[in-house]
């Protein structure tokens, strides 16, 4: 997973990919909807929804993470685009060797995601995004502790 709030790949994996000339398809660019700008704490609580057990979507963590989304919302509004488009464009701006993989449940969300292709982030935009969502700003891990132990990208 690679997104504004899941950036551990930048430490070891991404440098090796670049050294070897290997591109990366980045999944989870909206962090299961958390940084889409459309998710709120009343969603994802249905039985069987992964987010109901994900630490990033629990208790104080979700409040802290939604505060990051609100900071992104300010940046998005200034550019006249959506939070999701900012989040996807940020991933794309990390290098031509990174391709953001998006998922959509509706055609409207697909159109929104594809609209990120037209979002140009300047150096000032990228600095503002980094200030709003620093590398380790996300509260809570991507998965429960037992699952995290099995992820190579997190060690």
pLDDT in tens, 4-29: 989 989 999 999 999 999 999 999 99
d(CA 148, CA 155): 9
Count up the domains in the chain and report the number. 1
pLDDT, position 63: 87
- For residues 107 and 80, is the Cβ–Cβ distance under 8 A? no
Residue 114 within a domain: yes
Confidence (pTM): 0.87
Please check the confidence at residue 54 and state whether its pLDDT lies above 80: no
Domain limits at 121?
8-154
CA dihedral angle for residue 11, residue 17, residue 23, residue 27, rounded to 10 degrees: -40
Strand partners, 24: 98
Residue 2 within a domain: no
Residue 42 within a domain: yes
User: Tell me, what CATH number does 141's domain have?
Assistant: 3.20.20.100
Residue 114, SS3 per DSSP: helix
Residue 1 within a domain: no
């Amino acid at each position: 997973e690679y997104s504004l709030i899941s950036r551990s790949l930048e430490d070891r994996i991404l440098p090796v990919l670049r050294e070897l000339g290997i591109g990366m398809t980045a999944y989870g660019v909206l962090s299961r909807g958390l940084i889409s700008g459309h998710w709120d704490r009343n969603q994802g609580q249905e039985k069987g929804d992964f987010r109901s057990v994900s630490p990033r979507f629990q208790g104080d963590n979700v409040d802290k993470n939604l505060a990051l989304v609100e900071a992104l919302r300010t940046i998005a509004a200034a550019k006249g685009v959506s939070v999701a488009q900012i989040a996807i464009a940020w991933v794309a701006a990390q290098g031509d060797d990174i391709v953001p993989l998006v998922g959509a449940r509706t055609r409207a969300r697909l159109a929104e995601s594809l609209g990120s292709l037209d979002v140009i982030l300047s150096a000032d935009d990228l600095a503002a995004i980094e200030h709003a969502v620093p590398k380790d700003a996300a509260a809570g891990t991507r998965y429960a502790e037992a699952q995290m132990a099995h992820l190579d990208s997190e060690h």
